Amino acid sequence: MRLLTSHEARELYYHTTTTARRANALRPYWLLMQRKRAAGTYDSAKARKGLLPHMLEAAKDYGQEHGTGPRSGAAMFPPAVRAQVAAQLISDAEGEWSCGNDWT
């Protein structure tokens, strides 16, 4: 969690990682990144950038569940916060991959 420096970032991170709906939505993305890693074409920076649309959806989902609607979630978590959460998720995944853990 060293990359999450704000309360908002931690809140979005926990919502993304503990909500089954969000975790299931991210599963195809993680499988794709894993295949790219196995093929030798994985790029961490591109992977972080590729997670940003998922982070926007997670923010909207959070707003729908805990706020006044999807727009409130996007406003609660500005792009910098969403990028921070994406970086943490990539860091977590790379740590798991380096230990030999994967999603297959």
43 DSSP assignment: -
pLDDT confidence of residue 71? 84
pLDDT confidence of residue 103? 67
Show pLDDT as tens, one digit a residue, over the chain (104 residues).
577 889 999 999 999 999 999 989 999 999 999 999 989 999 999 999 999 999 999 999 999 998 888 788 889 999 999 999 999 999 999 999 889 887 65
pLDDT confidence of residue 69? 80
Q: Which one-letter amino acid corresponds to residue 48?
A: R
Is residue 15 within 8 A of residue 58, CB to CB? The reply is yes
What are the residue ranges spanned by the domains of the chain?
7-98
How far apart are the C-alpha atoms of 92 and 89, rounded to whole Å?
5
How far apart are the C-alpha atoms of 25 and 76, rounded to whole Å?
21
* Chain position carrying tokens 């089954």: 20
pTM for the predicted model, two decimal places = 0.90
How far apart are the C-alpha atoms of 48 and 29, rounded to whole Å?
11
